[in-house]
Structure 1
Amino acid sequence: MRGEHCVAGATILSVISVILLIFAHIGQVSSGALVKSIYMAEVNVAAYGNGFQGGTNTSASGMYDTSTTDLMGTFKGLRQYYRFGMYNACGYQKDGGGICNTSAFAYPMEPLGGMIGDVPAKFRKQTVDIIPTSTFKDNSYNHGMTRAGTGLIFVGSCGAALALIFGVIKLRLTFFIASICASVGAFLLMLGAALWTAVIAKDAWLQNVKVQHGYKLGIYVTAGPSLYLVWVAFAFTSLSCLPYVIACCTYRK
């Protein structure tokens, strides 16, 4: 295969990867229409009120906040959905309205912390007690794993972007650098996505929990589009490595 063809193929793969990663990164930076449906993980607590009521024989009236302007973490009531991106977390109502926290680099996912920060005081102790011991309740585990995962994804994304930049400079040395950047980037993207996947898989166990009288607890943790975008970007970045190596060895001006 000619070096020129390899360069073209690798460039196309890198462009696709970088575009996917851009969308993965912008998820939940705000509650705007473009980004509110892009997230790494979602905690759906819309049915938790029924589970709480069935498990404690206590009315769940007043548990949820119906406002879209109340700040998160002010004990005004639970949102229906909590979505976590790499740089922020947002809470949403069923009608799609929502509000976000202040953005921060490698924003940690702490699902129980988010719930406890919103649930009114009269429901707080019972909420902590009714949720069984699990990784969902381990804020330090969720915090550390997701922050590390986001950090790895960020560096891996930089590697993919550098591979694209060096790959368009038609020199054998730059093709070699591009292949290194793509290889390292793909490896870090894989590690970061794997950490997020592991956390979500463990936290998702909560969907099987039942309380008294056979009621489900009503807390569901699922992976979001951002995580799938990162996995696909990892695949495209990995595929770009070999063409860059071939171009490095065979390219002639």
Structure 2
Amino acid sequence: MTGYQLGIAATIAPDPLFGLYTTNASTPLEQHLGLRQEYKFGLYNHCAYVNGSAGLCSNSSAGNRFQPFDAIVGDMLPNFTSISTVLLSGSTFTDSDYLGNFSNGAYYLLLIGSICAALALLTGIMKHTFGFLTSTILAAIGSIMLLIGCAIWTVLIKKTQSVNNLTVGPAAAPVPLGIDVTIGNALYLGWGAFATLTASLIPYMIISCTYRG
């Protein structure tokens, strides 16, 4: 969000731009008291930062919905809300129902996948054919859940990244809108968990068929 001020300034020029951002890291979120420089969204909450480290996080809740547009317009002053709505209209970034519903569903898929992975590990410790067979089944279910959950999040982020290419201002000298959506480390960890759990299927299957303890 660091470049959004330039995009807004190009839109309202020659009128001056004041008060878009807050510099106070302790300012409450979603109270229309000022935009932050950076926003990070996760499975349980979202955080907003005035610089690389100083900021606040929203209340944690299971199945937190990925709704970036609602988060930023909730922070910015009311006079910038209508401008942002017009500038971002038509992009997936503003489709809070679509993003919220699918991210909420992906949360539960990832949760189920994580639980299955943990149970597969525990049952795999049991030196018994039934235990190894159970681990194989749990690992397979967990892999499918993680695959679908990570795939949903990947699609959601890729679609919201369309906002990265928006420009504003006169056609002769367009200016980037200044919102840059990127993939965070959590999604890469999710894909890594899927790959690891899927790879564990082979030894689980082999030992469940060959163990004679």
- When normalised by structure 1's length, the TM-score is 0.81
Mapping of residues 177-196 of structure 1, within 5 Å: 177-196=134-153
Q: How does 1:47-58 map to 2 (within 5 A)?
A: 47-57=3-13, 58=15
3-state DSSP of counterpart to 2:167? coil
Distance (Å, rounded) in 2 between the aligned partners of 1:122 and 1:186: 47
- In 2, are the aligned partners of 1:50 and 1:60 still within 8 Å (CA)? no
1:87 and 1:104 in contact (8 A); partners too: yes
2:195 is matched with: 235
Contact 1:176 / 1:244 at 8 angstroms: preserved in 2?
yes
The 5 A counterparts of 1:1-253 are 45-57=1-13, 58-212=15-169, 213-253=173-213
Q: Give 1:196 shift.
A: 0.5
Higher relative contact order (CA 8 A, sep 6+): 1
Q: Deviation of residue 56 (structure 1)?
A: 2.3
The answer on whether the counterparts of 1:84 and 1:109 sit within 8 Å (CA) in structure 2 is: yes
Distance 2:79 2:162 in 1: 26
CA distance in 2, matches of 1:60, 1:171: 69
Structure 1 residue matching 2:139: 3-state secondary structure: helix
Q: Please name the residue that 1:16 is paired with.
A: none
Kept after mapping to 2: 8 A contact 1:76/1:118: yes
Q: Secondary structure at the match of 1:78?
A: coil
1:249, distance to aligned residue in structure 2 (A): 0.6
Structure 2 CA distance for aligned equivalents of residues 218 and 252 of structure 1: 63
Identity %: 34
- 1:222 is paired with a residue of what secondary structure? coil
State whether residues 72 and 99 of structure 1, in contact with CA within 8 Å, keep that contact through their aligned partners in structure 2. yes
Deviates more, 1:52-61 or 1:98-107: 52-61
Q: Deviations over 1:98-139 (max 9, x none)?
A: 101110001111010001100001211111111131111100
SS in 2 for 1:156: helix
* SS of residue in 2 equivalent to 1:195: helix
**Aligned twin of 1:31:** none
For residue 34 of structure 1, what is the aligned residue in structure 2? none
CA distance in 2 between partners of 1:173 and 1:51 (Å) = 61
Kept in 2, the 8 Å contact 1:55–1:215? The answer is no
Gaps in structure 2 of 5+ consecutive residues? none
How many pairs does the alignment contain?
209
Secondary structure of 2:157 counterpart: helix
The alpha carbon displacement at 1:221 in A equals: 0.9
SS of the residue corresponding to residue 122 of structure 1 reads helix
Alpha-carbon displacement from aligned partner over 1:12-66 (angstroms, at most 9, x marks no partner): xxxxxxxxxxxxxxxxxxxxxxxxxxxxxxxxx1100101111221433210011
